[in-house]
Amino acid sequence: MTITLHQEHVASPIGTMLLVADDDGTLRALDFVEYESRMLRLLGRHYGTAYVLKPGRVPAAVTDALTAYFDGALTALDAVSVRTNGSAFQRRVWTALRDIPAGVTTSYGRLAATLGHASASRAVGLANGANPIGIVVPCHRVIGADGTLTGYGGGLDRKRWLLDHEARFQVAAIPSRASA
């Protein structure tokens, strides 16, 4: 069975994004225009030849949630429906990524331990790197065990921006004692 995927270019504060959704409006991929070849490679890895990619619009709910996120509503992406075709382990990692709250980081080792595979930090790193839905499946929240920024498919400058953005708005969301 062949699925039809629709691709739309959407501007963001960190560059033009490529959003890919299926006919049901479920987000299947999110990457940046300069990494389109990687996105296509990941789609091919996940769907083989069983998909057709066409220019088109993704649902407003997806683009509205991304706009809200970039405007500081950090939980807006929680409601975005996603679907991937990775291995069972990859899908477990990607699900666990969505459980990391905005403004919080974890290491590959801690994420592996959370999944019950404490010695699988490399496997978690590989699954993280194969994540086809950046930002919404927040692989940018995973850092090195020593707290350093490690690889990010969209580039370390974007990873740093996303983490700074989340930290800035997470702090803004915490009421001060004076207003409590």
Pick the CATH number of 88-173 from 3.40.50.150, 1.10.3720.10, 1.10.10.10, 3.30.450.70: 1.10.10.10
Q: Is 139 a catalytic residue?
A: yes
**In the chain, where does the domain assigned CATH 1.10.10.10 lie?**
88-173
Q: Could you list the pLDDT tens digit for every one of the 180 residues in the chain?
A: 899 999 999 999 999 999 999 999 999 999 999 999 999 999 998 888 889 999 999 999 999 999 999 999 999 999 999 998 889 999 999 999 999 999 999 999 999 999 998 899 999 999 998 999 999 999 999 998 888 888 787 888 999 999 999 999 975 554 544 444
Q: What is the pLDDT of residue 171?
A: 57
- The tokens of 128 are what? 């993280």
pLDDT tens for 46-64 read 888 889 999 999 999 999 9
**In the chain, where does the domain assigned CATH 3.30.160 lie?**
3-79
Q: What is the pLDDT of residue 15?
A: 96
Q: What is the pLDDT of residue 174?
A: 47
Q: Does 3.30.160 match the CATH number of domain 3-79?
A: yes
CB 138 within 8 A of CB 157: no
The amino acid occupying position 110 is R
Q: What are phi and psi of 38, to 5 degrees?
A: -65, -40
Kindly write down the DSSP assignment for every residue of 97-148, as one continuous string. Answer: HHTSPTT--EEHHHHHHHTT-TT-HHHHHHHHHT-SBTTTS-GGGEE-TTS-
Cβ-in-10-Å burial (0-12, 13-18, 19+) of 170 comes to middle
Please state, for a pLDDT cut of 70, what percent of the chain lies above it: 94
What whole-number distance in Å separates Cα of residue 154 and Cα of residue 156?
7
- The tokens of 22 are what? 């299926």
- Candidate list 17, 139, 143, 162, residue with the active-site label: 139
What whole-number distance in Å separates Cα of residue 140 and Cα of residue 149?
9
